[in-house]
Each structure stands twice: as structure tokens, then as C-alpha cells.
Amino acid sequence: MVRFQNVGMRYGPGPEVLRDVNFELSAGSFHFLAGPSGAGKTSLLKLLYLAHRPSRGLITMFGQDVSTASRAALPMLRRRIGVVFQDFRLLDHLTALDNVALPLRIAGADEKRTREHVVELLTWVGLGDKLDARPATLSGGEKQRVAIARAVIARPSLLLADEPTGNVDPEMAQRLMYLFVELNKLGTAIVFATHDTHLLQRFRFPVIRLRNGQVSIDRNAA
Amino acid sequence: MSARTASQRPASDLQLEADGTGRFLPWALAVMVFLAALALAGALALDGSIEGWRRGVSSKLTVQIADRPGEPLAPRIEKALDVLRGIPGVAAAEPLERRAVEALLEPWLGSDALQADLPLPGLIDVTLAGNNALSVDALAARLQAAVPGARIDDPKPWLDRLIQLGRLLQTLGGGIVLLVGLASAAMVIFATRAGLAARRDTIELLHLIGAEDGYIAKQFQRHVARQAIRGGIVGGVIAVLVLLAIQLLASRVGAGLLPGLALAWWHWLALMILPIAAALLAIFTARLTVLGELRAML
């Protein structure tokens, strides 16, 4: 579903932050993305959620070469990708419900069904009583769950999560982790960036390890 | 927090309505529509005047018979009328009564001078038939031979110049409307760019969620349309009030001295379309600006 071949990436004229990256993600897979700060995790995620183009190499997603895809082709590809940003990136003036509904509205979905879906999902993540709350009034864990709900509401084929358990207590982290495992069982491929070695030990999913801009795959078997 | 129904949606993801940078736009557009409406009304009103002058050029002449000592005026006017009515191409020739001639002169000479038995020329209003090939010079020569002292006032040369001036003023009015349109577009571009710059993060997020440029442009279009319609209506209404006031004042000054502000019903309709045209221009400009700016983003 996703294939990186000899991918390099740099910001402007700066040095390469990713070098000769090669890996493949199959549909329905679950990968951790780990590595020290500054190793290029966020850059790799940016390539995956199509916020940046590689400076060299070939990236194929959903059967399309995205390194050279036209701007006009990107929205349709992006609608198949859900992203949980490290800093949530919720829109402060919108309610939890409207934030989560955004991907469906952008895709032009029926408004009545959109609302039904969003209410159902927010209830499932334990925010059924916070539909009309704005982000400013939500706790860190609640914002995190709204961000996750927004990432999965449109049933993406690929879900990218940047430290989705970084801002919550260990108990909430575990609950959120189970949420991702559930989604994965429903068929969504997941890339889960984390620093948390406990999670890596507890859930034995393969790990994409980044070190100095280069990637290695660790099967992470017990 | 109030309960919302399923059909309710937030005003916009980009929250453009809360934008301080765009708050001046309705007022600026109101001024622009007001100015454009005045310029357009002027140009349209001249249409009627020019048409009147144009008819005058081809179909009206005035014959003047100078008062001569020892020669009574009335028989000479009768003679001139006979000559004129005998010429093919002259549709009508009517003498102006002395009182009508006095009325024409009174604003300039005052009633005292007229009462003092001032020798006045006899005037004949001549209407020519349409499509006549009559030469004014030949007509003047025939008249002169029959009635010495008769002279033809041909208004054509100065009416031609008047028409030229009218057309120039119309072009100027059109030019002003065009310039006002360009200035309005420039303001919309400025406001839209400011709005985009203030929302780069949100726009990037919408893009990453799968929004097409058109989705973002539409929000700017809706926002600008609301502002332009508000401003356009205010500017348009004030312009109509000002035009009505000018019409009233011009009619009090009296006909003849001023061309007046003669607006036909379709002229008023054109003026009412102006706010709509302004809104369409604003929407179109906002769309092009947003699409152009977004092209620089991934």
C-alpha cells in the first residue's frame, strides 16, 4: 500500500534529514515509528501525510507515485489518510462535533448522516457528553480523543499518529492504544510514532527505527 | 451551550466572519459603488440629451428676420413663410410670436428693456423632413433673395461640438466606472490575501484533511459576497437618494438652462444592477486570488 524507495528529503537548501529510506507498509499492518528526537520521525510522517515532497527517490501510495503527483491529485489521496497530530491541531472556534465532522464535510457527505456518525464515534471514545464543547474547555486527553476521532471518522485506509499518547497519563495512554488496536483490527493500516518503550514492549508490532535520517525495520518479536 | 439541529452548520471552518482585516471592506465597497453609480448615472443621463441634440442637428433650423427701419416686419415674415413652405424638404415653418421671442430674451435683457419697444427680429422655427438632402446654404440664398435681411441660424456646428463633448463625458463616466471597478478588485485582493495569511495553519490543516482549493476558495467567496452585497446596497441606496435630490434641484432651476438628469426606467435598473455587479466582481476576484495563492502551497 505504501512503498518508499531510496527516498531522501531536505528542507530547502539544508542538509538531508532523511537518507536512502526504503520500506513498505502493507494494508492492515501496524507499525511503531521510533527513534530519538531529531532523527526525522516528523519528517517521515510529513512525507506519509503528503505535507512534503521528497527531494529524491520514489514514494508510491495506494498504487500512485506521490512524489510527482499533481497538486490536484493530492486531496483524493489525503482523504484516504487519517492523521493524529502531536499538537492535535483542532480548530479552536469549532465544537468537538464540528471538528470531528470536518473530514466528512470536506468530502461533501450528507449533513444528517455526518452528524449521526460523529455523535456515534464521539460517544464511543467517551466524549458523548462533550459534543458541543470547544477545545479550550477540554482536557489534554479529551482533545487527544477528539483529534483521534477526526482522524478516523472518514474510515481512512492509513492512519498516522504522531505521539498520540504523549500528552496523557499512562492509564489513558493504554486506553488510547487499545483504541488504535481496535481500528487496526477493522482493517486500517497504522503508523504510530512514539517514544514510549513500554508500549513497544507491551504491543509487539514491528518498529520502523529512525537513526540519523536512516531507517531500519525491527520485527520487535518477543 | 445551545442545542443545535442537524441542519445547522458552523459559519465557516476558517472563521472569516471574525476577521478584523476584512471589516473595512463593506465600507470601502459602499463608497466605490456610490461613486460608480454617480458616474454611470451621469453617462446614462447624457444619452437622452445627446439623442435630443442629434435630432436637432438634422431636423431643426431657425430663420431670423432682422427688423429694418421703414419695413414692417409682419409681411416680410409672411413672405419668408411662403418661400419656406414652398421648398420640398421643409416639413413645417412656424413663426414665433413676439411674446415668445420676448420670453426667450427676458432672462438676459430684463423686462424693462423689452417694454421700451425694443426692435426685435422675427423668428421662424423650421422643421425639416427626415432624409432631406437640403443644403442650408442654398436655402439661405433663396430666402435672402426673397426677403432681404433674412438669415438662417444653423445650429449644426455648435450642436456637433456639444454632442462631441457629451460623448467625451460619457466615455469619461465609463472610464470612471472601470477604474472604480479595478480599485474595488484591488481592495478585495488585498483583504483576501490578508485573510489567507492570517489562516495559513488552518488552511494547511484543511488541505491535509483532504480539502480541495475550491473548498477553501468557496468560504472566501461567500464571505466576500456578504460584505460586497452589504456595502453595495448601502452605496447604491445613497447614490439613488443623491440622484433624486439632483433631479429635484435641477427641475427647480428650470428647463432650458440645464440638460437636467433625465433617467429612463432602464437607467434606474442599470443602477440597481451595480451592487450585484460589484458583488460578482468581488466573488470572482476573491476566487482567483485564493486559487492563485494556494497554488504556492502543497
* B6–A75 CB contact, under 8 Å: no
b/e map A9-42, b = 16+ CB within 10 Å: bbeeeeebbbbebebebeeebbbbbbbeeebbbb
**Nearest residue on chain A to B295, judged by CA atoms?**
A71
**CB-based contact A51 B206, cutoff 8 Å:** no
The per-residue pLDDT for A21 is 94
Residues with pLDDT less than 50, chain B = 1-7, 257
Which of B208, B291, B294 to mutate against chain A (most A CBs within 10 Å)?
A: B208
End-to-end, the C-alpha distance of chain B in Å comes to 37
Is the minimum CB–CB distance between A1 and chain B shorter than 8 Å? no
The yes-or-no verdict on residue A50 having pLDDT over 90 is: yes
Q: Is B194:B224 a contact under the CB 8 Å cutoff?
A: no
Residue of A nearest to B1 (CA): A132
Exposure string for B227-266, b = 16+ CB within 10 A, e = fewer: bbbbbbbbbbbbbbeebeebbeebeeeeeeeebbbbbeee
Question: Per residue in A148-168, pLDDT tens?
Answer: 999 999 999 999 999 888 777
Ramachandran quadrant class, A62 (left: phi over 0; alpha: psi -120 to 50; beta: rest): left
In this predicted complex, what is the ipTM?
0.93
pLDDT at B259: 57
CB contact under 8 Å between A106 and B18, yes or no, is no
Q: Which of A71, A75, A112 sits opposite B211 (nearest CB)?
A: A75
- CB nearest to A79's CB, from B7, B9, B210: B210
Nearest Cα of chain B lies from the Cα of A201 at a distance, in angstroms, of 32
Residue B255 β-bridge partners = B258
φ, ψ for residue B76 (rounded to 5)?
-70, -35
Residue B115's pLDDT is 67
A102 contacts in B (CB within 8 Å)?
A: 13, 206, 209
With CA atoms as reference, the chain A residue closest to B3 would be A132
Q: Rounded to 5 degrees, what are φ and ψ at A8?
A: -125, 150
Q: What are the angstrom distances between the C-alpha of A166 and each of A85, A173, A187, B10?
A: 11, 8, 24, 30
Select the more confidently predicted residue: A3 or B122.
A3
Is residue B5 classed exposed, middle or buried when 0-12, 13-18 and 19+ CB atoms within 10 A define those classes? exposed
How many H helices and E strands in chain B? 8, 4
A83 closest CA partner among A114, A108, A47, A107: A47
Pick from B73, B54, B160, B83: nearest CA to B123:
B73
Bridge partners, residue B173, by sequence: none
Cβ pair A78:B206 closer than 8 A: no
Question: What pLDDT does A193 receive?
Answer: 93
Q: What is the length of chain A? A: 222
The pTM of this model reads 0.80
Beta partners for B253? none
Cα separation, B37 vs B270, in Å, equals 9
Integer-rounded Cα Rg, in Å, for chain A is 17
| Interchain CB distance below 8 Å, B205 and A79 | no
Per-residue pLDDT reduced to its tens digit, A154-207 = 999 999 999 888 777 788 788 788 889 988 999 999 999 988 888 888 888 999
Residues of B in contact with A103 (CB under 8 A): 209-210
